[in-house]
């Protein structure tokens, strides 16, 4: 699957689970790890874990390799690494504190 197709797939799966304030960052040329970052917010720890779990389950069913999942126990910030796309599902307070959008857009 091409990066842009994977990005669209991930965005749709996040929207399916009502992820809020979805931001897509194109980090090609800024990162050697990934091409795109998808950042979204969940309303609670349970919601963030559910969003990440849904993306992971749907990815597996579509034959997409999952490189890793971090933070799924606590749910404040769940990171899902799909290679060309990295998904960050965060609580609002955590997202405000780390300001990934600002960090990667500089």
pLDDT in tens, 21-80: 999 999 998 889 999 999 999 999 999 999 999 999 999 999 999 999 999 999 999 999
Do strands 68-70 and 77-81 pair parallel, antiparallel, or not at all (unpaired)? antiparallel
Taking residues 4-26, report their average pLDDT: 96
Instruction: Specify the CATH number for the domain of residue 11.
Output: 3.30.460.10
How many domains, the chain? 1
Measure Cα distances from 58 to 9, 50, 52 in Å.
Answer: 9, 12, 10
Q: Is the pLDDT of residue 98 over 80?
A: yes
> Does residue 36 contact residue 84 with C-beta atoms inside 8 Å?
yes
pLDDT band at 106 (very low <50, low <70, confident <90, very high): low
pLDDT of residue 62: 96
Range of the domain at 96: 3-105
State pTM to two decimals: 0.94
What is the distance of C-alpha 60 from the center of its chain?
15
Taking residues 15-19, report their average pLDDT: 97
* 91 backbone φψ class: left, alpha, beta (φ>0; ψ -120 to 50): beta
CA distance 87 to 94: 15
């Amino acid at each position: 699957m091409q990066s842009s197709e994977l990005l669209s797939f991930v965005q749709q799966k996040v929207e399916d689970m009502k992820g809020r304030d979805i931001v897509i960052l194109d980090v090609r040329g800024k990162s050697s790890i990934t091409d795109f970052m998808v950042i979204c917010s969940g309303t609670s720890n349970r919601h963030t874990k559910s969003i990440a779990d849904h993306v992971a389950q749907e990815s597996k069913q579509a034959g997409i390799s999952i490189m890793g999942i971090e933070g799924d126990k606590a749910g404040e910030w769940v990171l899902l690494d799909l290679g060309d796309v990295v998904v960050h599902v965060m609580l609002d307070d955590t997202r405000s504190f780390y300001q990934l959008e600002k960090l990667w857009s500089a």
